[in-house]
Copies of this chain bind each other. A is one copy, B any other.
Amino acid sequence: MKTNWTIPIALLLSSSLYAADPLPSWNNSAPKQAITTFVEKVTTEGSPDFVPLPERIAVFDNDGTLWAEQPMYFQAFFIFDRIKTLAPAHPEWAEKEPFASVLKGDLKSALAGGEKALVEMAMATHAGMTNEEFDKIIRDWISTARHPDTGRLYTEMIYQPMIEVLTYLRANGFKTFIVSGGGIEFMRPWAERVYGIPPEQIVGSSIKTKYEVRDGKPAIIRLPDLNFIDDKEGKPIGIHQHIGRRPRMAFGNSDGDFQMLEWTTSGSGPRFAMIIHHTDAVREFAYDRQSHIGKLAKGLDQAPNLGWNIASIKDDWKTIFPTDN
């Protein structure tokens, strides 16, 4: 069959504004309509809901919203891999929890110590080097490490429908930000390539750093002290610190995002919130109220009253991962 390429090429070249369907991986159900209706409304000049360009700020949680988060936050896999790599220099870890369990491959016991154990492991693996050394460690890891269940690179487990939302919003003048409980320096080395989100538009948890001139060479040294936890109430605080303007749109998936969505939608004028509900046990993972990772209960209960949208992965996403097609 002879194909006429004229129309497809014209569509590729045209702005998403005029493309036939800016969100092809979404089913034509309510959540997709809610996104496009909101964007059309706030970008129509002369409309009472028009939002000027500088105020078009959209914030996205990362784990469970832009990429998967099961069976553990992907940053935890990084931490475990680092502990294994660093173990020869730390013979004491063989006897010391939670490190000993990690080295035995018993991740459940390693995580039994809860947040305290996780912070201890994070400090042992995220501090003690310059920011540039850490950047390289992350780049090396993210380009080689693979998810234990799917065998895919972690960056192949991003959500294609959300990549389309990011692209669609940027084509409509929105600045897109990540606001994640994950480490800010864990995300920066790859988020620009993978999501099109530059380092200066990433908000996350952080450890303290100090500036030092070593042998005549200035460096930023990563210290084993918590600086900021960008989760729950921390998300509006992080937004305020980094962005200094209340977002117009917010996307999250767990109760850790509740305050970010609440802060976003309680401003004046048009506001938009969407919760990604993990409902698809076949194509992804199904979890909500009882889950340790990505627990979602308060959000499900309150979303209807608050006018927040809920996207069900099973029902509303045609494709999940970019390589699914």
A200 interface neighbour in B175, B206, B234, B236, Cβ under 8 Å: B175
Are B262 and A237 touching (Cβ within 8 A)?
no
- The yes or no answer to A46 lying at the interface (CB within 8 A) is no
Mark each residue of chain A from 158 to 175: 1 if its CB lies under 8 Å from any CB of chain B, else 0: 000000000000000001
- The yes or no answer to A54 lying at the interface (CB within 8 A) is yes
Closest chain B residue to A217 by CB distance? B266
Q: In the complex, what distance in Å separates the CA atom of A240 from the CA atom of B41?
A: 36
Are B206 and A262 touching (Cβ within 8 A)?
no
Q: In the complex, what distance in Å separates the CA atom of A233 from the CA atom of B220?
A: 10
Are A218 and B175 touching (Cβ within 8 A)?
no
- The yes or no answer to A76 lying at the interface (CB within 8 A) is no
- The yes or no answer to A82 lying at the interface (CB within 8 A) is no
- The yes or no answer to A224 lying at the interface (CB within 8 A) is no
Instruction: Specify which chain B residues have a CB less than 8 angstroms from the CB of A266 in the assembled complex.
Output: 217-218
Are A237 and B218 touching (Cβ within 8 A)?
no
Residues of chain A touching chain B, judged by Cβ–Cβ distance below 8 Å, are 54, 57, 131, 175, 177, 184-185, 188, 192, 198-202, 206, 209-211, 213, 217-218, 220, 233-234, 236-237, 240-245, 259, 262-263, 266
Task: Indicate whether A245 sits within 8 Å of B211 (C-beta atoms), given known contacts A218-B259, A220-B236.
Answer: no
Are B240 and A209 touching (Cβ within 8 A)?
yes
Please give me the 7 A-B residue pairs with the lowest Cβ-Cβ distance, nearest first: A199-B244, A211-B233, A211-B236, A200-B243, A188-B244, A218-B266, A199-B245
Are A218 and B54 touching (Cβ within 8 A)?
no
Are A200 and B242 touching (Cβ within 8 A)?
yes
Are A211 and B199 touching (Cβ within 8 A)?
no
Task: Indicate whether A237 sits within 8 Å of B220 (C-beta atoms), given known contacts A242-B242, A245-B199.
Answer: yes
Are B211 and A263 touching (Cβ within 8 A)?
yes
Q: In the complex, what distance in Å separates the CA atom of A211 from the CA atom of B131?
A: 30
Are B263 and A237 touching (Cβ within 8 A)?
no
Tell me the smallest distance from the CB of A260 to a CB of chain B, in Å.
Answer: 10
A192 interface neighbour in B54, B198, B220, Cβ under 8 Å: B54
Q: In the complex, what distance in Å separates the CA atom of A192 from the CA atom of B243?
A: 13
Are A233 and B209 touching (Cβ within 8 A)?
no
Q: In the complex, what distance in Å separates the CA atom of A185 from the CA atom of B237?
A: 13
Are A236 and B263 touching (Cβ within 8 A)?
no
Q: In the complex, what distance in Å separates the CA atom of A202 from the CA atom of B259?
A: 24
Instruction: Specify which chain B residues have a CB less than 8 angstroms from the CB of A175 in the assembled complex.
Output: 200
Closest chain B residue to A131 by CB distance? B240
Instruction: Specify which chain B residues have a CB less than 8 angstroms from the CB of A259 in the assembled complex.
Output: 211, 218
Q: In the complex, what distance in Å separates the CA atom of A201 from the CA atom of B57?
A: 13
Closest chain B residue to A232 by CB distance? B211
A237 interface neighbour in B54, B201, B210, B234, Cβ under 8 Å: B210
Tell me the smallest distance from the CB of A202 to a CB of chain B, in Å.
Answer: 7
Q: In the complex, what distance in Å separates the CA atom of A201 from the CA atom of B245?
A: 11
Instruction: Specify which chain B residues have a CB less than 8 angstroms from the CB of A202 in the assembled complex.
Output: 244
Tell me the smallest distance from the CB of A219 to a CB of chain B, in Å.
Answer: 9
Max chain B Cβ within 10 angstroms of own Cβ: one of A206, A220, A241, A259: A241
Closest chain B residue to A200 by CB distance? B243
Are A237 and B211 touching (Cβ within 8 A)?
yes
